[in-house]
């Protein structure tokens, strides 16, 4: 059993034509399909922005520009029967390769070699709360902000 700890994360928010770039996850214990923006853990000595850029490069092989801090979310949750606690730094950014904005989905791989699904999901899918978008409160933040591109 791993010791309980708060995990610092940095996530990238990429929006285009009313859609958000997210990965699709599944928790079989809850029978729940959920979505979360891409990004990951902040390593010691790394800023949140640097972590987000590194994670996007590692996971889907893309470069990002115009990184802008949007806010912070504290996320306490249960996943796969285990409690998690994250402090999440949220960054809006743009993809260098503009062709990615026109793709429906992308191939993604965790550093350990585990593949996962990445897609452009309409923000409207999250409006009624039935389709989970994590961290909690992210949809409200996005719905109340003005975003490019």
Give residue 129's pLDDT.
85
Task: Indicate the pairing of strand 19-27 with strand 15-16.
Answer: antiparallel
pTM of the model: 0.90
Within a domain: 149:
no
Say how far apart CA 48 and CA 109 lie, in whole Å: 21
Within a domain: 59:
yes
**Residue 138 lies in domain:** 7-143
pLDDT digits (tens, 9 = 90+) for 122-132: 999 999 888 99
Within a domain: 2:
no
Within a domain: 13:
yes
Domain of residue 98, CATH code: 3.90.79.10
Within a domain: 74:
yes
Give residue 149's pLDDT.
41
Number of domains the chain contains: 1
């Amino acid at each position: 059993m791993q010791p309980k700890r708060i995990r610092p994360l940095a996530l990238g928010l990429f929006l285009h034509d009313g859609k958000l770039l997210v990965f699709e996850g599944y928790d079989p214990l809850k029978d729940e399909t959920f979505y979360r923006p891409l990004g990951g853990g902040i390593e010691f000595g790394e800023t949140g922005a640097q972590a987000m850029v590194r994670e996007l490069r590692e996971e889907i092989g893309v470069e990002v520009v115009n990184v802008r801090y949007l806010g912070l979310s504290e996320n306490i949750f249960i996943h796969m029967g285990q409690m998690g606690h994250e402090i999440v730094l949220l960054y809006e950014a743009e993809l260098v390769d503009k062709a990615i904005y026109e793709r429906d989905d992308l191939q993604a791989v965790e550093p350990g070699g585990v593949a996962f699904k990445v897609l452009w999901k309409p923000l409207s899918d999250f409006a009624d709360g039935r389709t989970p978008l994590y961290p909690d409160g992210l949809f409200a933040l996005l719905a109340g902000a003005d975003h490019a591109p």
